[in-house]
């Protein structure tokens, strides 16, 4: 008996509009027009318009998705791609092939992209001579040219601080100094980039293991695995990580076609990136782009396990320090001054001190 | 099983029924939620550049709201403890509404986190390589989802047994889960606090007081939220709320808020008396540094609201002057929202670890996404309440047919068998 009442309740049908966003159901609900004989014409019309209105509103709110670029659309291939460490050689080859095709489609150049593995018995370390650095920012721009960063908005891995003499506190540094000529007599210059920590806070916090430390000490990112939560960016004490807030834009003329999977291949929107010690160069015996361009030789790079390397010599003979040593991140990026360490250098050239 | 699907179907039908106030409210929420969806689609297409976030301030409105809502969700448990441990019968009804609020809040949390992701299309990577136990974010994923399931189970079971007019098997199906949920509620907020306090590179967060402060502020804001909600339900539906519960809730808010203010003072003292470089973020927050003063008005209005609320709470409580309590609650809800959002998430990024000052201001698109998620959460909660009230009243059960609207009265839901009418 009750069932009839339920079915005949015309208002219940029109009520659909209440949460469909069409406004069809609300106000008319108090008026009559219902019978006790199933769905009336009126309630049918009302329910129809309400549903249609709701769907239209939903479609309208989803409409920006029409502008989604084809590269951003999820594909089965991308969906099934494995984490870097789980890829077999064939998996990697097919991923590289996909990237080649994507680059070709976007930039009309076929890139030379490989997956370059670390060398055995190598641990990379960087050393930077604060006495020599003149703050010309050539390293900043060489890095951008080498690593296919987005040009607009421009992403830079290296930040040069202009420091007042008498302070090593980076909070005193000026990030946006703009002088007709450098260096300024009252300042010295401190470039900061990823320190490739041996105890990296960024790796620890990543929820999906999209970033990790390689055997040669370089912390890398799998751009195809990163979910873009930016927890690593919050965790980094050196502000070394950068996020692609917008789709990276890079003119074809500026594209560096020598690429590797974990370093300078073009990035997508919504992923993290950072300095990787130019691993596509350094793992093949070359120097990083920032070092090569430095006009004053302030930058030293090499294998710290090789006692004859430049960096080993610097660590042995100079007074070196790392930034924020109290955080125990154990950076592989050292700063030093030209003054020689009287103790460390005693056995070397007698002319010192 | 068949009966259960019928129950769900009837709940679905019921959520489209109501009087004009219900329709207006739901329509409003739907419109806002759709606007938010629209804004989110834009964000999907153009990237997070549509937000005010930058490499300098890489978390903003989304994560702030996420943090606040974790607190609201956790606070539901403050109602469970007195109800079940001290066998306070009056609170039993209230508990259901509290736990439903927790469900809605957790759903909002998950939506806010998703909105913050640069690559939501890769969400499944979480299942393929889960950096547990190292990453606190993975802990958060676990505790939030388990908490959601726990609460869904408790509310669902209790409502469904009433619907079926069965006797609850409390010892087996409710109590164990309630006790787990109590511990769990503390864990969701603790884990969320550890998310921040574990970062050595952010001195503003890297403080042991963050977790206790989170819990204290949550247990003030959450019950305050419920105090308001209960009165709204009381006023708008036929359900008779045990308004005596307000008294107990008020005490919870009072104690929690007192502890919160004390912890805040401890933090401010340590920062400012030490005066070390690491208090720069705090200085920026409270007083501004140079021309960078964006957060100063926010934090001082939050402090003012919190202190006024605390003062009002300390006035002797009289049931008749419930507006005093309500004012205090509203001030608290807003004050703590600012304190946890603008006051806790944003200043940790200013200055950057390299000492650069870049300020943060959410964009219109970002605000719309946030409002959309709030509207969606409130929409969910309204539907939950819409369903729960007639079930608890006994108007909707498996052997009755709930006819929503008698033909004579426009104030439909009051005519469903209860003696109570709309309060004037």
Residue B34 maps to which CATH number? 1.20.1630.10
- Residue B322: predicted pLDDT: 84
Could you give the number of structural domains in chain B? 1
- The residue of chain B nearest to residue A243, with distances taken between CA atoms, is B55
Is the minimum CB–CB distance between B390 and chain A shorter than 8 Å?
no
Q: Which residues of B touch A270 (CB under 8 A)?
A: 47-48, 117-119
Ranges of residues in chain B with a pLDDT under 70 are 78, 85-91, 242-243, 277, 319-320, 401-424
Per-residue burial over A284-309, b if 16 or more Cβ lie within 10 Å, else e, is: eeebbbbbbbbeeebbbbbbbeeeeb
The answer to whether B381 contacts chain A (CB < 8 Å) is: no
Dump pLDDT digits (tens) for A220-260: 999 999 999 999 999 999 999 999 999 999 999 999 999 99
In this predicted model, what pLDDT tens digit does every residue of A58-97 receive, in sequence order? 999 999 998 888 777 888 888 889 999 999 999 999 999 9
Chain B hits for A72, CB-CB cut-off 8 Å, are 45
CA neighbours closer than 13 Å in the CB half-sphere of residue B228: 16
- Dihedral angle sign, alpha carbons of residues B315, B320, B325, B330: negative
Taking the alpha carbons at both ends of chain B, their separation in whole angstroms is 43
Nearest Cα residue in chain B from A203: B135
Contact list, B201 vs chain A (CB under 8 Å): 201, 235-238, 324, 327
Contact residues, A window 206-235, toward B, CB-based 8 Å cutoff: 206-210, 225-231, 233-235
Tell me what pLDDT residue A39 has.
67
* Cβ–Cβ below 8 Å for A225 and B138: no
Classify the phi-psi angles of A333: left when phi > 0, otherwise alpha if psi is within -120 to 50, otherwise beta.
beta
Ranking A65-74, A159-168, A171-180, A318-327 by mean pLDDT, the lowest is A65-74
Tell if the CB–CB gap between B30 and A26 is shorter than 8 Å.
Answer: no
A90 touches chain B (CB under 8 A): no
β-bridge mates for residue B289, sequence order: B292
ipTM of the complex: 0.89
What CATH number is given for A124-340 in this structure? 3.30.70.20
Rounded to a whole number of angstroms, the distance from the CA of A93 to the nearest CA of chain B is 21
**Using a CB-CB distance cutoff of 8 angstroms, which residues of chain A are in contact with residue B283?**
none
- Would you call B47 and A269 a contact, using CB atoms and an 8 Å cutoff? yes
Asked if the model's pLDDT at residue A111 lies above 60, the reply is: yes
Predicted pLDDT of residue B109: 96
- Which chain B residues touch A27 with a CB distance below 8 Å? 20, 23
B38 touches chain A (CB under 8 A): yes
Higher model confidence: residue A1 or residue B204?
A: B204
Predicted confidence at residue B402, as pLDDT, reads: 54
Assess B417–A contact: CB distance below 8 Å, yes or no: no
Q: Is residue B406 situated within a structural domain?
A: no
Does some domain include residue B411?
no
- Of the candidates B266, B378, B124, B357, the one whose C-alpha atom is nearest the C-alpha of residue A76 is B124
Question: From CA A63, how far away is CA A298, in angstroms rounded?
Answer: 53
Q: How far apart are CA A104 and CA A98, in angstroms?
A: 10
Q: Evaluate whether residue B410 is within a structural domain.
A: no
Domain that holds residue B38: 2-399
Cβ distance B125 to A210 less than 8 Å, yes or no, reads: yes
Nearest CA in chain B to A241: B55
Q: What is the pLDDT of residues A2-52, one digit of tens each?
A: 333 333 333 343 334 333 434 333 333 333 334 444 567 888 888 888 889
Which residue of B lies nearest to A36 if distances are taken between CA atoms? B407
Contacts of A235 in chain B (CB under 8 A): 199, 201-202
Is residue B389 included in any domain, yes or no? yes
Give yes or no for residue A271 having a pLDDT over 60.
yes
Q: Are strands A318-321 and A159-164 parallel, antiparallel or unpaired?
A: unpaired
Determine contact, residues B298/B196, Cβ cutoff 8 Å: no
Is B89 an 8 Å CB contact of chain A?
A: no
Answer whether residue B130 is part of any domain: yes
Written as six digits, the tokens of A292 are: 């090569």
């Amino acid at each position: 008996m009750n069932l009839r009442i339920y079915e005949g309740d015309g208002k219940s049908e029109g009520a659909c509009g209440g949460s469909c966003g069409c406004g069809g159901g609300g106000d008319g609900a108090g008026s009559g027009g219902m019978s006790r004989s199933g769905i009336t014409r009126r309630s049918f019309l009302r329910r129809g318009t309400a549903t249609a209105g709701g769907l239209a509103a939903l479609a309208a709110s989803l409409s920006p998705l029409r502008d989604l670029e084809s590269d951003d659309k999820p594909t089965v291939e991308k969906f099934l791609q494995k984490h870097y460490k789980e890829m077999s050689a064939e998996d990697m080859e097919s991923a590289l092939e996909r990237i080649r095709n994507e680059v070709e489609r976007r930039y009309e150049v076929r890139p030379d992209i490989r997956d370059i593995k670390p060398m055995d018995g190598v641990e990379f370390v960087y050393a930077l001579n604060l006495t020599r650095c003149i703050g010309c920012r050539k390293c900043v721009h060489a890095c951008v040219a080498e690593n296919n960063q987005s040009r607009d908005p421009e992403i830079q891995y290296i930040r040069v601080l202009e420091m007042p003499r008498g302070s090593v506190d980076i909070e005193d540094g000026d990030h946006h100094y703009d002088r007709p000529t450098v260096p300024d007599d009252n300042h010295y210059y401190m470039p900061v980039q990823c320190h490739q920590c041996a105890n990296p806070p960024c790796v620890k916090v990543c929820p999906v293991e999209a970033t990790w430390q390689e055997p040669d000490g370089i912390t890398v990112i799998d751009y195809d695995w990163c979910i873009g939560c930016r927890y690593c960016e919050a965790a980094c004490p050196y502000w070394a990580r950068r996020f692609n807030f917008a789709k990276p834009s890079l003119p074809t003329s500026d594209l560096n076609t020598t690429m590797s999977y974990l370093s300078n291949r073009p990035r997508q929107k919504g992923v993290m990136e950072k300095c990787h010690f130019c691993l596509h160069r350094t793992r093949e015996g070359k120097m990083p782009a920032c070092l090569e361009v430095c006009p004053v030789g302030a930058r030293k790079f090499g294998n710290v396990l090789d006692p004859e390397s430049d960096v080993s010599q610097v660590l042995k003979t100079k007074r070196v320090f790392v930034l924020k040593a109290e955080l125990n991140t154990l950076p592989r990026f050292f700063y030093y001054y030209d003054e020689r360490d009287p103790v460390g250098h005693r056995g070397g050239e007698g002319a010192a001190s | 099983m068949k009966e259960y699907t019928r129950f769900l179907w009837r709940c679905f039908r019921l959520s489209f029924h109501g009087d004009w106030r219900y329709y207006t409210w739901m329509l409003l929420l739907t419109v806002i939620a759709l606007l938010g969806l629209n804004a989110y689609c834009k964000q999907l297409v153009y990237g997070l550049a549509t937000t005010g976030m930058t490499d300098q301030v890489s978390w903003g409105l989304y994560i702030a709201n996420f943090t606040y809502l974790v607190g609201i969700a956790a606070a539901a448990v403050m109602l469970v403890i007195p109800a079940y441990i001290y066998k306070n019968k009056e609170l039993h009804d209230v508990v259901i509404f509290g736990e439903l609020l927790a469900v809605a809040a957790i759903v909002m949390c998950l939506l806010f986190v998703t909105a913050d992701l640069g690559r939501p299309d890769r969400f499944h990577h979480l299942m393929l390589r889960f950096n547990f136990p190292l990453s606190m974010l993975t802990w958060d994923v676990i505790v939030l989802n388990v908490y959601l399931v726990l609460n869904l189970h408790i509310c669902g079971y209790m409502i469904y047994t009433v619907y079926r007019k069965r006797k609850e098997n409390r010892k087996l199906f409710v109590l164990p889960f309630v006790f787990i949920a109590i511990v769990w509620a503390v864990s969701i907020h603790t884990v969320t606090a550890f998310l921040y306090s574990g970062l050595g590179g952010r001195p503003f967060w890297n403080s042991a007081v963050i977790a206790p402060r989170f819990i204290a502020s949550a247990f003030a804001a959450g019950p305050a939220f419920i105090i308001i909600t209960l009165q709204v339900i009381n006023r708008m539906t036929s359900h008779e709320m045990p308004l005596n519960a307000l008294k107990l809730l008020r005490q919870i808010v009072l104690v929690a808020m007192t502890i919160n203010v004390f912890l805040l003072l401890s933090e401010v003292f340590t920062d400012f008396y030490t005066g070390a470089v690491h208090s720069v973020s705090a200085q920026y927050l409270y007083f501004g540094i140079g021309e960078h003063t964006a957060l100063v008005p926010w934090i001082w209005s939050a402090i003012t609201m919190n202190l006024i609320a605390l003062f009002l709470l300390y006035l002797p409580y009289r049931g008749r002057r419930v507006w005093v309590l309500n004012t205090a609650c509203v001030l608290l809800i807003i004050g703590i929202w600012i304190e946890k959002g603008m006051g806790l998430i944003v200043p940790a990024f200013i200055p950057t670890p390299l000492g650069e000052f870049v300020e943060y201001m959410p964009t219109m698109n970002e605000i719309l996404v946030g409002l959309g998620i709030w509207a969606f959460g409130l929409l969910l909660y309204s539907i939950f309440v819409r369903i729960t009230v007639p079930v608890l009243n006994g108007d909707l059960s498996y052997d009755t047919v709930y006819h929503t609207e008698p033909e004579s009265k426009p104030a439909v839901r009051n005519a469903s068998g209860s003696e109570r009418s709309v309060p004037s």
